[in-house]
Structure 1
Protein backbone atom coordinates (compact mmCIF):
# COMPACT_ATOMS: atom_id res chain seq x y z
CA UNK A 1 0.00 0.00 0.00
CA UNK A 2 2.83 2.42 0.92
CA UNK A 3 4.58 1.69 -2.38
CA UNK A 4 1.43 2.45 -4.36
CA UNK A 5 0.87 5.75 -2.57
CA UNK A 6 4.53 6.73 -2.94
CA UNK A 7 4.55 5.83 -6.64
CA UNK A 8 1.38 7.86 -7.16
CA UNK A 9 3.00 10.86 -5.48
CA UNK A 10 6.03 10.49 -7.77
CA UNK A 11 3.75 10.49 -10.81
CA UNK A 12 1.88 13.56 -9.56
CA UNK A 13 5.13 15.47 -9.01
CA UNK A 14 6.36 14.48 -12.48
CA UNK A 15 3.03 15.58 -13.98
CA UNK A 16 3.37 18.93 -12.19
CA UNK A 17 6.96 19.42 -13.39
CA UNK A 18 6.30 18.38 -16.97
CA UNK A 19 3.02 20.32 -17.03
CA UNK A 20 4.99 23.46 -16.24
CA UNK A 21 7.41 22.61 -19.05
CA UNK A 22 4.56 22.40 -21.54
CA UNK A 23 3.63 26.01 -20.76
CA UNK A 24 4.55 28.47 -23.49
CA UNK A 25 7.24 30.92 -22.43
CA UNK A 26 4.74 33.79 -22.04
CA UNK A 27 2.58 31.75 -19.67
CA UNK A 28 5.59 30.53 -17.72
CA UNK A 29 6.95 34.07 -17.36
CA UNK A 30 3.55 35.33 -16.24
CA UNK A 31 3.30 32.65 -13.55
CA UNK A 32 6.80 33.23 -12.20
CA UNK A 33 6.32 37.00 -12.26
CA UNK A 34 3.20 36.56 -10.13
CA UNK A 35 5.35 35.04 -7.40
CA UNK A 36 8.27 37.38 -8.00
CA UNK A 37 6.21 40.57 -7.70
CA UNK A 38 4.56 39.32 -4.51
CA UNK A 39 7.91 38.43 -2.97
CA UNK A 40 9.33 41.76 -4.13
CA UNK A 41 6.54 43.70 -2.42
CA UNK A 42 7.27 41.88 0.85
CA UNK A 43 10.99 42.63 0.52
CA UNK A 44 10.27 46.31 -0.17
CA UNK A 45 8.20 46.49 3.03
CA UNK A 46 11.19 45.28 5.03
CA UNK A 47 13.59 47.71 3.38
CA UNK A 48 15.07 45.79 0.44
CA UNK A 49 14.66 46.98 -3.15
CA UNK A 50 15.60 44.03 -5.37
CA UNK A 51 15.88 44.16 -9.14
CA UNK A 52 12.71 42.50 -10.48
CA UNK A 53 14.32 40.80 -13.48
CA UNK A 54 17.23 39.42 -11.46
CA UNK A 55 14.89 38.31 -8.71
CA UNK A 56 12.66 36.52 -11.23
CA UNK A 57 15.67 34.50 -12.38
CA UNK A 58 16.28 33.40 -8.79
CA UNK A 59 12.59 32.59 -8.26
CA UNK A 60 12.57 30.41 -11.40
CA UNK A 61 15.75 28.58 -10.37
CA UNK A 62 14.48 28.12 -6.82
CA UNK A 63 11.31 26.59 -8.26
CA UNK A 64 13.42 24.05 -10.18
CA UNK A 65 15.40 23.22 -7.07
CA UNK A 66 12.30 22.87 -4.88
CA UNK A 67 10.33 20.69 -7.31
CA UNK A 68 13.21 18.30 -7.67
CA UNK A 69 13.97 18.28 -3.93
CA UNK A 70 10.45 16.95 -3.38
CA UNK A 71 10.81 14.50 -6.26
CA UNK A 72 14.18 13.19 -5.05
CA UNK A 73 12.86 12.69 -1.52
CA UNK A 74 9.80 10.75 -2.66
CA UNK A 75 11.77 8.66 -5.15
CA UNK A 76 14.28 7.71 -2.44
CA UNK A 77 11.48 6.90 0.04
CA UNK A 78 9.78 4.70 -2.57
CA UNK A 79 12.97 2.98 -3.70
CA UNK A 80 13.89 2.25 -0.07
CA UNK A 81 10.76 0.08 0.06
CA UNK A 82 11.69 -1.74 -3.16
CA UNK A 83 15.48 -2.07 -3.32
CA UNK A 84 18.03 -3.30 -0.80
CA UNK A 85 21.16 -1.65 -2.20
CA UNK A 86 22.30 1.47 -4.07
CA UNK A 87 19.05 3.26 -3.29
CA UNK A 88 20.50 6.78 -3.50
CA UNK A 89 22.30 6.05 -6.79
CA UNK A 90 19.15 4.61 -8.35
CA UNK A 91 17.13 7.57 -7.08
CA UNK A 92 19.58 10.07 -8.54
CA UNK A 93 19.66 8.22 -11.86
CA UNK A 94 15.87 8.33 -12.15
CA UNK A 95 15.84 12.01 -11.20
CA UNK A 96 18.44 12.75 -13.91
CA UNK A 97 16.27 10.95 -16.47
CA UNK A 98 13.20 12.93 -15.41
CA UNK A 99 15.14 16.21 -15.48
CA UNK A 100 16.54 15.41 -18.92
CA UNK A 101 13.10 14.58 -20.30
CA UNK A 102 11.84 17.83 -18.74
CA UNK A 103 14.39 19.75 -20.82
CA UNK A 104 13.54 17.75 -23.97
CA UNK A 105 9.89 18.75 -23.50
CA UNK A 106 10.97 22.39 -23.42
CA UNK A 107 12.71 22.05 -26.81
CA UNK A 108 9.28 21.47 -28.34
CA UNK A 109 7.44 24.11 -26.30
CA UNK A 110 7.02 27.54 -27.92
CA UNK A 111 9.60 30.05 -26.70
CA UNK A 112 11.28 27.60 -24.32
CA UNK A 113 14.79 26.21 -24.45
CA UNK A 114 16.61 23.28 -22.92
CA UNK A 115 19.74 23.77 -20.84
CA UNK A 116 22.25 21.44 -19.26
CA UNK A 117 22.44 23.93 -16.37
CA UNK A 118 18.80 23.22 -15.52
CA UNK A 119 19.43 19.46 -15.57
CA UNK A 120 22.33 20.02 -13.16
CA UNK A 121 20.20 22.28 -10.95
CA UNK A 122 17.38 19.72 -10.95
CA UNK A 123 19.82 16.93 -10.11
CA UNK A 124 21.23 19.02 -7.27
CA UNK A 125 17.71 19.56 -5.95
CA UNK A 126 17.06 15.82 -6.09
CA UNK A 127 20.27 15.09 -4.22
CA UNK A 128 19.33 17.59 -1.51
CA UNK A 129 15.90 15.98 -1.20
CA UNK A 130 17.51 12.54 -0.97
CA UNK A 131 19.89 13.70 1.76
CA UNK A 132 17.03 15.25 3.73
CA UNK A 133 14.79 12.17 3.55
CA UNK A 134 17.74 9.85 4.32
CA UNK A 135 18.49 11.90 7.43
CA UNK A 136 14.86 11.94 8.50
CA UNK A 137 14.47 8.21 7.98
CA UNK A 138 17.62 7.52 10.07
CA UNK A 139 16.34 9.86 12.73
CA UNK A 140 13.04 8.00 13.05
CA UNK A 141 14.35 4.43 12.63
Structure 2
Protein backbone atom coordinates (compact mmCIF):
# COMPACT_ATOMS: atom_id res chain seq x y z
CA UNK A 1 0.00 0.00 0.00
CA UNK A 2 1.23 3.47 -0.85
CA UNK A 3 2.72 5.24 2.21
CA UNK A 4 0.62 8.31 1.58
CA UNK A 5 -2.56 6.26 1.73
CA UNK A 6 -1.51 4.04 4.62
CA UNK A 7 -0.76 7.11 6.75
CA UNK A 8 -4.47 7.93 6.66
CA UNK A 9 -5.71 4.43 7.54
CA UNK A 10 -5.52 4.97 11.34
CA UNK A 11 -7.39 8.28 10.93
CA UNK A 12 -10.16 6.67 8.91
CA UNK A 13 -10.42 3.73 11.31
CA UNK A 14 -10.67 6.07 14.31
CA UNK A 15 -13.30 8.16 12.52
CA UNK A 16 -15.17 4.91 11.85
CA UNK A 17 -15.11 4.04 15.56
CA UNK A 18 -16.45 7.51 16.41
CA UNK A 19 -19.17 7.17 13.77
CA UNK A 20 -20.12 3.68 15.00
CA UNK A 21 -20.71 4.89 18.54
CA UNK A 22 -22.49 8.05 17.35
CA UNK A 23 -24.84 5.98 15.21
CA UNK A 24 -26.12 4.02 18.19
CA UNK A 25 -29.60 5.05 19.33
CA UNK A 26 -29.76 6.96 22.60
CA UNK A 27 -30.92 4.03 24.73
CA UNK A 28 -28.19 1.72 23.38
CA UNK A 29 -25.52 4.37 23.84
CA UNK A 30 -26.74 5.15 27.34
CA UNK A 31 -26.78 1.49 28.33
CA UNK A 32 -23.24 0.94 27.03
CA UNK A 33 -21.73 3.99 28.68
CA UNK A 34 -23.87 3.43 31.78
CA UNK A 35 -22.45 -0.07 32.23
CA UNK A 36 -18.88 1.14 31.85
CA UNK A 37 -19.46 4.08 34.17
CA UNK A 38 -21.17 1.89 36.78
CA UNK A 39 -18.11 -0.38 36.89
CA UNK A 40 -15.70 2.58 37.21
CA UNK A 41 -18.01 4.32 39.70
CA UNK A 42 -18.12 1.28 41.97
CA UNK A 43 -14.33 1.03 41.88
CA UNK A 44 -13.90 4.77 42.52
CA UNK A 45 -16.32 4.77 45.44
CA UNK A 46 -14.10 2.34 47.28
CA UNK A 47 -11.42 5.03 47.40
CA UNK A 48 -11.70 7.25 50.49
CA UNK A 49 -11.66 10.56 48.61
CA UNK A 50 -14.49 9.44 46.30
CA UNK A 51 -16.78 8.21 49.07
CA UNK A 52 -19.45 10.84 48.39
CA UNK A 53 -19.60 10.60 44.60
CA UNK A 54 -22.82 11.46 42.82
CA UNK A 55 -23.51 8.74 40.22
CA UNK A 56 -25.19 11.06 37.71
CA UNK A 57 -22.45 13.67 37.95
CA UNK A 58 -19.80 11.00 37.60
CA UNK A 59 -21.56 9.58 34.52
CA UNK A 60 -21.67 13.04 32.91
CA UNK A 61 -18.00 13.63 33.75
CA UNK A 62 -16.92 10.31 32.19
CA UNK A 63 -18.97 10.92 29.02
CA UNK A 64 -17.53 14.41 28.57
CA UNK A 65 -14.00 13.23 29.35
CA UNK A 66 -14.43 10.55 26.68
CA UNK A 67 -15.33 13.24 24.11
CA UNK A 68 -12.19 15.15 25.06
CA UNK A 69 -9.86 12.14 24.85
CA UNK A 70 -11.39 10.68 21.67
CA UNK A 71 -10.84 13.91 19.76
CA UNK A 72 -7.36 14.42 21.24
CA UNK A 73 -6.49 11.04 19.72
CA UNK A 74 -8.13 11.94 16.40
CA UNK A 75 -6.17 15.19 16.10
CA UNK A 76 -2.88 13.41 16.85
CA UNK A 77 -3.65 10.76 14.23
CA UNK A 78 -4.47 13.48 11.67
CA UNK A 79 -1.24 15.31 12.49
CA UNK A 80 0.69 12.05 12.08
CA UNK A 81 -0.98 11.47 8.72
CA UNK A 82 -0.18 14.99 7.53
CA UNK A 83 3.49 14.43 8.33
CA UNK A 84 3.84 10.93 6.93
CA UNK A 85 1.55 11.24 3.91
CA UNK A 86 3.54 13.95 2.19
CA UNK A 87 0.57 16.30 2.55
CA UNK A 88 -0.63 18.48 -0.31
CA UNK A 89 0.80 21.99 -0.57
CA UNK A 90 -2.19 23.55 1.20
CA UNK A 91 -1.23 21.53 4.32
CA UNK A 92 2.54 21.95 3.94
CA UNK A 93 2.76 24.64 6.59
CA UNK A 94 0.87 24.75 9.84
CA UNK A 95 0.12 21.04 9.97
CA UNK A 96 -0.94 21.39 13.62
CA UNK A 97 -3.50 24.04 12.72
CA UNK A 98 -4.87 21.88 9.90
CA UNK A 99 -5.04 18.83 12.17
CA UNK A 100 -7.07 20.87 14.68
CA UNK A 101 -9.36 22.24 11.94
CA UNK A 102 -9.99 18.81 10.44
CA UNK A 103 -10.70 17.25 13.86
CA UNK A 104 -13.07 20.11 14.73
CA UNK A 105 -14.88 19.82 11.39
CA UNK A 106 -15.30 16.09 11.98
CA UNK A 107 -16.69 16.84 15.46
CA UNK A 108 -19.26 19.20 13.90
CA UNK A 109 -20.18 16.61 11.26
CA UNK A 110 -20.50 13.94 13.94
CA UNK A 111 -22.78 16.09 16.11
CA UNK A 112 -24.88 16.93 13.04
CA UNK A 113 -25.11 13.21 12.25
CA UNK A 114 -26.44 12.60 15.77
CA UNK A 115 -29.42 14.86 15.03
CA UNK A 116 -30.71 12.05 12.80
CA UNK A 117 -30.13 9.20 15.28
CA UNK A 118 -33.14 8.28 17.44
CA UNK A 119 -32.71 9.39 21.04
CA UNK A 120 -29.56 11.41 20.30
CA UNK A 121 -28.96 15.11 19.94
CA UNK A 122 -26.26 17.21 18.38
CA UNK A 123 -24.75 19.66 20.84
CA UNK A 124 -22.64 22.71 20.05
CA UNK A 125 -21.10 22.32 23.50
CA UNK A 126 -19.87 18.86 22.49
CA UNK A 127 -18.24 20.29 19.36
CA UNK A 128 -16.47 22.86 21.55
CA UNK A 129 -15.38 20.14 23.97
CA UNK A 130 -14.18 17.93 21.11
CA UNK A 131 -12.29 20.87 19.63
CA UNK A 132 -10.65 21.57 22.99
CA UNK A 133 -9.67 17.91 23.26
CA UNK A 134 -8.14 18.05 19.78
CA UNK A 135 -6.17 21.15 20.71
CA UNK A 136 -4.99 19.51 23.93
CA UNK A 137 -3.78 16.43 22.05
CA UNK A 138 -1.86 18.60 19.60
CA UNK A 139 -0.36 20.64 22.44
CA UNK A 140 0.84 17.42 24.06
CA UNK A 141 2.51 16.48 20.77
CA UNK A 142 4.18 19.87 20.58
CA UNK A 143 5.49 19.57 24.16
CA UNK A 144 6.69 16.03 23.53
CA UNK A 145 8.60 17.07 20.38
CA UNK A 146 10.16 20.04 22.22
CA UNK A 147 11.25 17.87 25.14
CA UNK A 148 12.85 15.34 22.79
CA UNK A 149 15.03 18.00 21.12
Fold in common (TM above 0.5): yes
Other-structure match for 2:41: 40
For 1:3-82, what aligned pairs fall within 5 Å after superposition?
Answer: 3-47=4-48, 48-81=51-84, 82=87
Aligned to 1:107: 115
Q: Which is worse superposed, 32-41 or 77-86?
A: 77-86
Alignment gaps of 5+ in structure 1: none
Matched-pair contact (CA < 8 Å) for 1:92–1:123: yes
Match of 1:135 in 2: 143
Gaps of 5+ in 2: none
Secondary structure of 2:93's match? Answer: coil
CA RMSD of aligned residues (A): 1.6
Displacement after TM superposition at 1:139 (Å): 3.8
CA distance in 2, matches of 1:67, 1:116: 17
* Whole-angstrom CA distance in 2 between matches of 1:34 and 1:23: 15
**Number of equivalenced pairs:** 141
TM superposition score normalised by structure 1 = 0.91
